[in-house]
Structures are given as C-alpha cells and as structure tokens.
Amino acid sequence: YLKYTDDHLRMPLWAGILEYLPFYLLALWAWQVERLRGVGSGLLGQSAGRRSS
C-alpha cells in the first residue's frame, strides 16, 4: 500500500493519463463515428445512416 502510494505520488501525470485514456479514446471514437456518419449520410442518403445505427 505504501509502495503504491509512493508510486502514485511520484508519477501523478502517468497515473492520470492511464486513468482517463479509455474515456478519451471513447470520446474520440464517438466523434469520428458521428463525423463519418454525417459524411456518409450526405453522400449516400439516409439509408446508409439508418443501417450503420
């Protein structure tokens, strides 16, 4: 427990990055999906947008 606390205090930046990295990747992926869906629906019509969802 003491060693874990010591590591956490010594490297807070890496701890924060590793803790929030999944949320950041999920948000980035969702943004890409929405952007690509918008482009796809604009080019192919509403049928492609309904099929992807």
50 is a domain residue = yes
Q: Take residue 5 and report the two structure tokens written for it.
A: 């606390």
Structure pTM? 0.44
Work out the number of other CB atoms within 10 angstroms of the CB of residue 49: 14
Q: Which domain holds residue 29?
A: 21-53
Per-residue pLDDT in tens (0 to 9) along the chain, 53 residues = 556 666 656 667 777 788 888 898 999 999 999 888 888 777 766 555 555 55
2 is a domain residue = no
> Based on the structure, what is the number of domains in the chain?
1
Q: What local confidence, expressed as pLDDT, does residue 26 receive? A: 94
Return all residues near 22 (Cβ < 8 A) that are at least 6 apart: none
Q: What local confidence, expressed as pLDDT, does residue 30 receive? A: 93
What Rg do the C-alpha atoms of the chain give, in angstroms? 20
12 is a domain residue = no
Helix (H, G, I), strand (E, B) or coil at 11: coil
| Dihedral angle of Cα 26, 28, 33, 35, to the nearest 10 degrees | 160
